[in-house]
Structure 1
Amino acid sequence: MKKKRHPAFMIILDILAVAVIVGGIAAYRLLIPETYVANASGTEAVSTAASAADTSEKAVSSDTGTTDWGEAFADKFTEGEIIETDTSYMSKNVNVTMTTVQEDGVTYYVQDIYVRSIENLQTAFAEDTYGKAVTDWVLDMAIENDAVAAINGDYYGVESGGVVIRNGVLYRDDANADVLVLYYDGTMKGFSAAEFDADLEMANGAYQAWNFGPLLVEEGTALTSFSSRISGTNPRTAIGCIEPGHYVFITVDGRQAGYSSGMTLKQLAATMESLGCQVAYNLDGGQTSTMTFGDEIANQPYKGGRLTSDIIFITDGE
C-alpha cells in the first residue's frame, strides 16, 4: 500500500522549490554581466546585447566647450618633453605629483594634478562597456587607457540606480545619493539626490557625474555631518577641485593593523579642505580603494583590492 504524503510536507517542498528558483534568479541578476544602452529619456537604462559603440550613439551627449589652461598654469607644463620620476610626471598636457603621508596611524596618498584641458581628465568603464556586473581591476583599466594616474570611481555597476555621466555622455539618470558633477569648464558642483536635474546639468555642460558620496567639501569648507552608513574609519577614495584645471585624487589605506587604520568621513573632509579643495567628494572605498601611478598600484589596497566597474584617470593624450 502506497504511503500518503502529509499536506504540510508537500507545502514545505513547494516553498523550498520556490526559494531555489528565486535564489537562482537573484544570483543570475547579480553575477551575470549585462550591457546597457543609455536611455535618452533619462530613465533607467534597458538591458541589451548592444556593443559599446551602439551605446555611445544612443546616449545623450553634453555640449563641449573646453578651456586651455596652458597659459594659466604655464609653469606646470613643459614645451613638449616629458619629465618623469617615481612620484611625478610633467608634460605639455599634464602635471601629476604624488605624495605619501603617514601620520597618526594612517597612510594616505595624494595626487596633485594640473591638466591643460578638461579632456585630460577622463573616465573609463571596465571592458569599455557600460553595464551591470561588468568589472575589471583598476590597474588593468588604467594600463588599457594609457593612464598617467588613476583612481577607482563610484562602482556604478553594482546597482541599477544612480546617475552616470561619463566623458560627456548621459547613461543613466536616477539620483539616489549625493551627486558630483564635473563640467567642461573645469568647475565641480555637488547636489543632493533631490536637487539633481540631469537634463538641466547636461545643458549646463556636465562632463562627468558620479553618484556615491557623500559630498565632503563645499565652497572651500569641510562638511561635518553626513547622512551615510559608512561614516566610520575605513579605506577611502576621494576627488576634489582646487580650481578649474587643478584637481586632487586621494586614497586612504585602512583596516590594516600596524600600517593604516583608515579615515572617517569627517577626517577625510578635513584633509581635502587642508589640501585647498573648494569642492570634494567621497567615491567608493573599502576594498575598492585603489590608486595607480604609471603602470603600478601606488597604495596598499585592503585585501589586495577588488574588481570594480569604472575608473577616473589622467591621460597625456591630445
Structure 2
Amino acid sequence: MMKIHPKAFSATKRKVLIIITVILLSIGAVIYGLADRYLIEHVEVVVADDTASTSSTASTSGTGGTTSTAAVAADVNATSDDWNYSSDDIQIKIDQVQTGTGSDLITYYVADVVLKNSSSLRSAFADNSFGTNITEDTSEIASSNNALFAINGDYYGFRNDGVIIRNGTVYRDEPARDAMALLEDGTMTTYDEEEVSSLELLAEGVTNTLSFGPILIQDGKIVSDFSNVKIDTNFGNRSIQNANPRTAIGMIAPNHYVFVVVDGRKEGYSRGMTLTELADVMAGLGATEAYNLDGGGSSTMYFMGRVVNNPLGKNQERGVSDILYIKE
C-alpha cells in the first residue's frame, strides 16, 4: 500500500482549503453584488417635502379617504363618492370593466380625469427620496402626499438608466429607451430618450418624464409591433409580452387623461392583458398618446384613501419607487 507523507497530505489539505475559501469568497461577492444592486437602499437625494404640515393627519383607514383629503375636498366645495370626485378644478370618474369569460376573464379599472390646471398632476418618490431600491406601497406614497388619486409609476429605482425628470427637476440623465413626458401645458408626449436631451425637454416645458414603456399610441396611432419589447436587461427581469397586470396612462386632450390599471394572475377574476390588448383599450377610450408603465405586482390604483383594484389578485400591494398622483 502506498503511503502519503504527512507533509504532502498537509500541503494538499491547505490547497483544498484555499480553493474552498476562494470559492466561498467569490460566491459571497456575487451575492453581495446582487443585494447591493437590487436590495440595499441607495439614497441619492432627499426631496423637500411640501406636505409635511398636513401628511401627519393622513390615514388610509376605511373607504372615505384620508382626513386631510376630506378636509381639502370640503375646502374646495367638492363632491365625491367611492368612484367619483368633482370640484371646480378636478373631475375624476372611475369605472370597473370586465370582459371575457372563464379563464379568459379580464378585470380592469379606468379613471377618466379632467384637470383645469396641469399642476394638479404630479409625481412623488417613495420615502420622499430619489435613489435605487427605495420602495413604499403606492397607497403609502399617495397618503403621504394627500393625493386624491394615484397610480404606480415606472419603478425607476429598479434600474440605473433612463431619463428621470420629476416636478421639473432632472434626477437622472442616462438615455436608454422610449419614454413619456408630461408638459406644463397639460399635454403628454412620447419620445426616444437618445434623440432628445434633458435640456431640450425642460425648454419645451416638460415637468415629468417616465422611463419604462413601450409606447402604446403615438400621434393617434397604435404602435404596430409589440413582439420584441425590451425594457430591462437586469437580473431576474421577465418577459412583458404575455398577459400580465398592467398600468398605463393616456391623453385624450390637453389636461384630459385616462389611467388604466389591469388586474391579473388570478383565475376566474382576471388573466391580465397583452400589450396589444392594452393598446386597443387605450385607443377605444380615445387616447391620442398612451404609454405602458410598470406592471405585474406594481399595478395599483388608489382613490380617496383606498386601493381600488386587486393587486396580483391577492389584495396585496408591492412596494414601488414612485407614483403619479392628482392633488387639489
Q: Which structure 2 residues correspond to residues 1-318 of structure 1 after superposition, within 5 A?
A: 1=6, 3-6=9-12, 7=15, 10-37=18-45, 51-53=46-48, 80-104=76-100, 105-226=105-226, 227-228=228-229, 229-302=239-312, 303=314, 304-316=316-328
Output the aligned Cα RMSD.
1.9
The percent identity for this pair of structures is 41
Residue deviations 1:50-80 (CA, integer Å, cap 9, x gap) = x4349xxxxxxxxxxxxxxxxxxxxxxxx95
Q: Secondary structure at the match of 2:30?
A: helix
TM-score, length-scaled by structure 1: 0.84
Separation in 1 of the partners of 2:204 and 2:43?
A: 28
Where does structure 2 lack aligned partners over 5 or more consecutive residues? Answer: 1-5, 50-74, 230-238
Separation in 1 of the partners of 2:31 and 2:242?
A: 32
Residue deviations 1:111-135 (CA, integer Å, cap 9, x gap) = 0001111110000001111111111
Distance 1:5 1:306, change over 3 A: farther
Task: Find the structure with the greater CA-based Rg.
Answer: 2
Q: Which residue of 2 aligns with 1:74?
A: none
Q: Secondary structure at the match of 1:143?
A: helix
Checking the alignment, whether the CA contact within 8 Å between 2:109 and 2:309 is kept in structure 1 is yes
Separation in 1 of the partners of 2:290 and 2:114?
A: 16
Aligned-partner residue type, residue 148 of structure 1: L
Q: Which residue of 2 aligns with 1:69?
A: none
TM-score, length-scaled by structure 2: 0.81
Separation in 2 of the partners of 1:101 and 1:277?
A: 17
Residue deviations 1:35-62 (CA, integer Å, cap 9, x gap) = 114xxxxxxxxxxxxx4349xxxxxxxx
Separation in 1 of the partners of 2:177 and 2:305?
A: 33
Residue deviations 1:255-289 (CA, integer Å, cap 9, x gap) = 11000001000000010011000100000000100
More moved, 222-231 vs 208-217: 222-231
Separation in 2 of the partners of 1:121 and 1:268?
A: 22
Separation in 2 of the partners of 1:305 and 1:52?
A: 24
Checking the alignment, whether the CA contact within 8 Å between 1:175 and 1:211 is kept in structure 2 is no
Checking the alignment, whether the CA contact within 8 Å between 1:179 and 1:196 is kept in structure 2 is no
Separation in 2 of the partners of 1:100 and 1:22?
A: 45
Q: Which residue of 1 aligns with 2:59?
A: none
Where does structure 1 lack aligned partners over 5 or more consecutive residues? Answer: 38-50, 55-78
Q: 1:214: how far off?
A: 0.3
Separation in 1 of the partners of 2:30 and 2:95?
A: 49
Q: 1:23: how far off?
A: 1.9
Q: Secondary structure at the match of 2:283?
A: helix
Checking the alignment, whether the CA contact within 8 Å between 2:163 and 2:193 is kept in structure 1 is no
